[in-house]
């Protein structure tokens, strides 16, 4: 692994058992992650987008070492998270933190925010109470709050302030990577901008790497350098954010972008392209032999039912960072995989 690579996911598979359909039947499996691979460089901001249920949050929990995959591996700073000792994993956790979607549910209402922010420091050895108090105060000021706020409780803060507190808790160990899972979706639009700008400032100040997970394409476009589009547990397209948004190559990516509301000059009404609806009959919970998007894709051909497209570099694109998993992209071999 190159020194620049902070996080590497290789062929990650994560499955869940579903309820039995009958008393004597075996429990079916849903494959939430189906061979996901990605690389996050030091100081890079990498976005993950896709509709609800595509596997974004499962990927976040897996790369944080919270849910072991059935196959594949996760490397953080060159160490396999699921093959090292608990002591080594505890040490690695100082360098990787997570910010959750709900600023209300992520803080213990019975604890002062100073105590909540200091919790990750339990991984730090020989940390005195005075040093902890000083570091908590400095971190609170860094996210735009007062050091004296450490003695207050979560109910005394607004939603935006609570998310700042969540950021302070993530920053307290001075991590190399923060996984942000829908970090502003529960906030008002006006507050979202403040929190996102704060995250950009913190990234520049501390050379943070972000794995930024969101269904909001405009936010991902603003916050990330590279992006991966997920559908049914697979990455279907990947590349530099601006390039991918301006020239999407996978039909699912185009459908996502077309579903974004577009203003009509001189009119109050919005021109909203209809998104492709989720079909309950789509067998995304089964292990498919072909492309999982073929049931909704207007460009599907017979080969889409026979051979699963691989995530490969676009042959017609000068930048090898652009990848697509689509037979129509012209980068797939005609043989079955």
Cα–Cα dist 334/327, whole Å: 9
d(CA 179, CA 192): 17
Distance, CA of 253 to CA of 40 (rounded, Å):
21
pLDDT for 10 equals 96
Give the phi and the psi of residue 165 in degrees, each rounded to 5: -65, -40
What's the number of domains the chain is made of? 1
pLDDT tens digits for range 136-166? 999 999 999 999 999 999 999 999 999 999 9
Instruction: State the pTM of this model.
Output: 0.85
Which residue is associated with the tokens 């990605």? 38
* pLDDT tens digits, one per residue of 18-75: 888 888 888 888 899 999 999 999 999 999 999 988 999 999 999 999 999 999 999 9
Summarize the confidence of residues 325-333 as an average pLDDT: 79
Least confident of 41-45, 232-236, 266-270, 300-304: 266-270
Per-residue pLDDT tens over the stretch 3-18: 578 999 999 999 998 8
Evaluate whether 60 touches 98 at the Cβ level (below 8 Å).
Answer: yes
User: Domain for residue 9, yes or no?
Assistant: yes
Extended strands (E) in 42-151:
45-49, 71-76, 79-80, 96-99
Using DSSP bridges, classify how beta strands 209-213 and 45-49 pair: parallel, antiparallel or unpaired: parallel
Identify whether 335 is part of a domain: no
pLDDT at 104: 80
Q: Is the pLDDT of residue 269 over 50?
A: no
**Pairwise CA distance, residues 93 & 81, whole Å:** 10
More confident residue, 12 or 314: 12
What is the per-residue pLDDT for 333? Answer: 63
pLDDT recorded at residue 268: 43
- Beta strands 226-231 and 45-49 are parallel
Residue 195 CB contacts under 8 Å (≥ 6 apart), including other chains: 160, 163, 164, 167, 183, 184, 187
Residue 77 lies in a domain: yes
The pLDDT score that the predictor gives to residue 201 is 95
Q: Looking at the domain assignment, is residue 70 inside a domain?
A: yes
For strands 177-181 and 96-99, give the pairing. Answer: parallel
What pLDDT, on a 0 to 100 scale, did the predictor assign at position 128? 85
Domain that holds residue 78: 5-277+286-329
Mean pLDDT of all residues in 228-246:
95
Q: For residue 223, is it within any domain?
A: yes
More confident residue, 283 or 180: 180
- pLDDT at residue 184 tops 80: yes
Give the mean pLDDT of 177-191: 90
% the chain with pLDDT above 90: 61
pLDDT, the chain, mean: 86
- Tell me, what DSSP letter sits at residue 156? G
Residue 3, pLDDT score:
56
pLDDT of 116 over the 90 cut: yes
| Structural domain includes residue 127 | yes
| Residue 162 resides in a domain | yes
Cα–Cα distance, 292 to 32 (Å, whole number): 12
pLDDT-derived band of residue 98, with 50, 70 and 90 as boundaries? very high
pLDDT at 15: 93
CATH number at residue 42: 3.40.50.300
Per-residue confidence (pLDDT) for residue 287, from 0 to 100: 44
> 316 pLDDT band (50/70/90 cuts)?
low
Instruction: Name which of 108-122, 244-258, 303-317 the model is least confident about.
Output: 303-317
DSSP state of 186: T
Residues 175-180 have a mean pLDDT of 96
Six-digit token pair at 111? 């604890």
Residue 98 lies inside a defined structural domain of this protein: yes
pLDDT category at 271 given cuts 50, 70, 90 is: very low
pLDDT attached to residue 288? 57
Percent of the chain having pLDDT more than 70?
87
Please check the confidence at residue 278 and state whether its pLDDT lies above 50.
no
DSSP string, 96-119: EEEE-S-TTTTS-TTS-HHHHHHG
């Amino acid at each position: 692994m190159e020194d620049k690579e902070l996080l590497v996911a290789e062929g990650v598979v994560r499955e869940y058992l579903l309820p039995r359909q009958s008393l004597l039947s075996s429990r079916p499996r849903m494959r939430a992650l189906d061979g996901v691979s990605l690389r996050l460089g030091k100081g890079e901001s990498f976005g993950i987008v896709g509709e609800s249920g595509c596997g974004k949050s499962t990927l976040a929990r897996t790369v944080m070492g919270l849910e072991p995959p059935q196959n594949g591996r996760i490397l953080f700073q060159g160490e396999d998270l699921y093959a090292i000792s608990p002591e080594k994993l505890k040490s690695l956790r100082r360098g990787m933190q997570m910010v959750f979607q709900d600023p209300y549910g992520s803080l213990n209402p019975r604890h002062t925010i100073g105590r909540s922010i200091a919790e990750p420091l339990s991984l730090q050895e020989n940390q005195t109470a005075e040093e902890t108090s000083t570091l908590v105060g400095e971190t609170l000021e860094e996210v735009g709050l007062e050091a004296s706020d450490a003695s207050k409780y979560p109910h005394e803060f607004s939603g935006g302030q609570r998310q700042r507190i969540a950021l302070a808790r993530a920053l307290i160990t001075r991590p190399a990577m923060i996984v942000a899972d829908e970090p502003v979706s529960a906030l008002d639009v006006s507050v979202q901008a403040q929190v996102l700008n704060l995250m950009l400032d913190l990234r520049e100040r501390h050379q943070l790497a972000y794995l930024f997970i969101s269904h909001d394409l405009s936010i991902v476009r603003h916050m990330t350098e590279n992006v991966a589009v997920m559908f049914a547990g697979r990455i279907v397209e990947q590349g530099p954010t601006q390039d991918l948004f301006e020239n999407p190559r996978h039909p699912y990516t185009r459908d996502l972008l077309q579903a974004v509301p577009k203003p009509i000059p001189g009119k109050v009404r919005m021109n909203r392209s209809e998104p492709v609806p989720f079909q309950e009959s789509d067998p995304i919970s089964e292990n498919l032999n072909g492309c999982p998007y073929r049931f909704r894709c207007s460009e599907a051909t017979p080969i889409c039912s026979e051979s699963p497209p691989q995530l490969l570099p676009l042959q017609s694109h000068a930048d090898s960072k652009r990848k697509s998993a689509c037979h129509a992209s012209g980068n797939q071999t005609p043989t079955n995989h």
